[in-house]
Structure 1
Amino acid sequence: MEEKVHFYSDCLKLVGTFYTPDNRKDGERLPTVIGIHGGSGTSTANALKIIGQRLTDAGYAFLTFYHRGFGDSEGIRGRSIWQNRLRDIQDSITYAQQRPEVDPERIGLIGLSIGGAYAVYTAGVDERVKCAVEVGGMGDGERRFRTRMPYYDFMALQDQIKEDRIHRVLTGESKRRPYRGNEYLGPEHQKLREKQKDKETYDKQGYPLENTDNLMSFKPESVVHQIAPRAVMFVNAERDAIVPVDEARSMYAKAGEPKKLMVISGSGHGEVYPANNPEVFNSIMKESLEWYARHL
């Protein structure tokens, strides 16, 4: 069963979808997983719907929503500030706990791409999260940029950010670029974007450079040790040109038990999505469902 829902975070209306199994018994309170979308706000929407279907088939309730500024939610379009997203997720937990279908003591998270990093950070600072799964997330925003681009390009990016900080103070707005204009892509992802460009429309306004500036200070790795004794699972692709697999390995090394690391050999960032590589996606769902069954 699928229900359109909404809740509020910092007085902004956030819109989402709540899924429950068709065979749920009256009065039954279910373990519940909250799905967190990626940075574009669009590319993971269909994947999260399929994840929701898989989880409800396994007896879980599932909630996914658009962060402020994305989808049908209120907020400045395309603006992504990690402190705000953290509040959105924590408020989504509060909302889920009020629903009669949800067992408030059994809340899990799953996040895709940057959403995976938010899942880790939220679990690190909010003990209501009993089990988290991150797929393709990073541990340190600045390190992730430094390791993915030539140093000259990194210095040029820093210059652009410095100029944009002044521009924001004087005008109240951040300069906007296409979503992938804020990224440094490897050949694998360039080919994937060409394949997808007719299937997906990004926000025509572009995305604020402020997003990249803010992401530099985002370090889920700094709180990952606080998740234990609650459970966390890291899933990253071996040949990921967007989020190097060493990000997951570094977080895993700093996390306490119970923890698990799944490295998908020969695959890239986009292949974790069902539309791109169903075999890889199915393997991730199999491991995730086993992890939730054990810890949630």
Structure 2
Amino acid sequence: MVNERWVTFFSEGSRVVGNLFLPTGMQAGERRAGIVLCHGFTGVRELTLRDYAQRFAAVGFIALIFDYRGFGESEGPKWRLIPLEQIDDIRNALTWLAAQPEVDATRVGLWGTSFGGAHVPYVAGIDTRVKAAVAQVGFDTGESFLIDVRNERERAELRHHIEEDRRLRVLTGRGRDIDPFERALANPHASGFIADALRRHPHMRCLLSWETWEKTLEYRPLDVVAKISPRALLLIAAEQDTVCLPAGYRRLYDTAGEPKKLLTWPISHYDIYAGEWFDKSANEAIAWFDRHLKT
């Protein structure tokens, strides 16, 4: 059993909503290592983060999950998804977590999955407060996330839409929106998970601007991952991933310094959230944090 609190903090002036998970049996004045968890593209904190946060708290860590600005219960421009703005949210979450009386501010880590699995190496690369990081089924650059998974025709269409929308925003002040789930629901490796997620969490459904795709295409965690060392980075890739190709994590691993570890498992992107693969991913993260964050 763990204790859970509904919490809020501010990110760039907007109120962000989250949940804090604490181990049971903490003594007065005791401080524990803390972990901020980062979810995926258009996700909400209830989707996958709660299960991991409960696991982390059950073994002695304090874990924070939250909704990025504009999503879930958090304030901010509705459905605005810009990678570097989410980076600010994560860093503000780190600041809030480190300020809590139960948390040892010198032992704070990051965990992220999918889109959050790209954010974690980016934040760890630029923010030395992060003492250990775990990222799973993410990517290294926006190009690998958006371009490498498309054929030549789809790539040309994507770039055309991005350029046309940039012109439209400049000339009229307003761009076009797109349903981010349309492509995912057409992917046989993703459709079941996404359809079930939208059924269980209907407030996940959203429209995104083409600016999201433009700014994501420019996003490059690969450029800062070498700065994480001598702090610790664990990467977990899915060999059959068609959402975030595993080659991206190999490039991150090859570029990062020690201590580092790369695990590649024979699964697809969404298999990691259930059954034995959820257990394995949670246990590997716990072992990494035990080694690099608890002491």
TM-score relative to the length of structure 2: 0.94
CA distance in 1, matches of 2:186, 2:115: 15
CA distance in 1, matches of 2:256, 2:28: 38
1:269 aligns with 2:266: no
Find the counterpart in structure 2 of residue 228 from structure 1.
Answer: 229
Mark the runs of 5 or more structure 2 residues left unpaired by the alignment: none
CA distance in 2, matches of 1:112, 1:256: 21
CA distance in 1, matches of 2:114, 2:152: 24
Alignment-mate amino acid for residue 290 of structure 2: A
Question: Contact between 2:126 and 2:224, CA under 8 Å: does it hold in 1?
Answer: yes
What is the aligned residue count? 291
Question: Contact between 1:113 and 1:137, CA under 8 Å: does it hold in 2?
Answer: yes
Mark the runs of 5 or more structure 1 residues left unpaired by the alignment: none
Cα gap change, 1:8/1:121 in structure 2, threshold over 3 Å: closer, same or farther? same
Which SS does the other structure have where 1:119 is aligned? helix
User: Which runs of structure 2 are paired with 1:32-71 in the superposition (5 Å)?
Assistant: 32-42=34-44, 45-71=46-72
1:293 aligns with 2:295: no
> Structure 1 stretch 89-98 or stretch 102-111: which is displaced more?
89-98
CA distance in 2, matches of 1:49, 1:67: 15
**Alpha-carbon deviation of 1:195?**
5.1
1:259 aligns with 2:260: yes
**Alpha-carbon deviation of 1:176?**
1.4
- 1:281 paired residue among 275, 278, 286: 278
> Structure 1 stretch 120-129 or stretch 203-212: which is displaced more?
203-212
Find the counterpart in structure 1 of residue 207 from structure 2.
Answer: 206
> Structure 1 stretch 46-55 or stretch 241-250: which is displaced more?
46-55
CA distance in 2, matches of 1:192, 1:56: 26
Alignment-mate amino acid for residue 160 of structure 1: H
Question: Contact between 1:185 and 1:242, CA under 8 Å: does it hold in 2?
Answer: no
User: Which runs of structure 2 are paired with 1:11-30 in the superposition (5 Å)?
Assistant: 11-30=13-32
CA distance in 2, matches of 1:202, 1:264: 31
Find the counterpart in structure 2 of residue 216 from structure 1.
Answer: 217
**Alpha-carbon deviation of 1:143?**
2.8
Alignment-mate amino acid for residue 36 of structure 1: C
Find the counterpart in structure 2 of residue 124 from structure 1.
Answer: 125
CA distance in 1, matches of 2:209, 2:85: 15
CA distance in 1, matches of 2:129, 2:77: 28
Alignment-mate amino acid for residue 23 of structure 1: G
CA distance in 2, matches of 1:10, 1:197: 28
